[in-house]
Amino acid sequence: MARNSTTIASFGLLVLVLLLWQFLPTALGVPKFIIPTLTDCLIEMRRMWAFEGVLGHTISTAIYTLLGFAIGSLLGAVLGYLLGMSPFWERVFSPYILALQIAPKVAFAPLFIMWFGYNGMPKLLVTVLIVFFPVLVNVLQAMRTVDRDLVNLARAYNLSRLGIFFKVEMPSTLPNLMAGLRIASTLSVIGVTVGELVGGNTGLGYLISYGGGQANAAMVFNAIILLTIIGFLLYTALVRIEERVLHYLPKAHG
């Protein structure tokens, strides 16, 4: 019953937003090149499908989003676990990790373009860099807070270092890892978009740049909506995976 009420309320809110989007700009006299109506965006989407190859651009962005997310998450998780298993190396690498984390990742996009040219590599690298740190930080923080009593108990049973990791540390850190992955999934879309905006010739970020140059606000709106859908689908998939992986954790009821 509660889930049905939530669904109805969410759908009602969506309908309200769409109605405001359709009628409010016209009622306020806002020009179409500033805020297009919903109808304007739908008409432009049909034109983009026919003449701008929007499907190919969307697929390109989705592929690079998934690749960047997968590579960045894997690197962040592996390094987080390795540093968490070795306090000495964590102290050695911490200043450099902090420096890279503080540095604005989007500022690396022009540098990557100078190094690799106008192709898919710069946006992939920017995405990997943006995704890497949330996963690394979450995993590393979780490794620091693993119950020492459980680790000592595992040692008392003569478990190897890898045995302790797989039996105690990794299960304990899975909630933090999944939280980091959920954060990274939203950031991966940003990374790809930045790469496409700065120097891409394909993808939805490119369409945003192109539409902005043509004062075609409807094209920009459509590209943003498609980017949002990609991020939402990736995030939703991770939530479903998390529910399966962490099914043993108690759920809050409200």
219 close to 47: Cβ distance less than 8 angstroms: no
What domains can you pick out in the chain, each with its CATH number? 31-245 (1.10.3720.10)
3-state helix, strand, coil in the chain (%, to 5): 85, 0, 15
Phi, psi (deg, nearest 5) at residue 140: -65, -40
For 152, the token pair is 């000592």
CA distance 80 to 186: 20
- At 162-210, the pLDDT tens digits run 888 888 888 888 989 999 999 999 999 999 999 898 877 889 999 999 9
Amino acid at 235: Y
Place of tokens 């192109």: 210
**Structure confidence at residue 201 (pLDDT):** 83
CA distance 177 to 158: 27
CA dihedral 70, 76, 82, 83 (to 10 degrees): 180
Q: Which pTM does this prediction carry?
A: 0.87
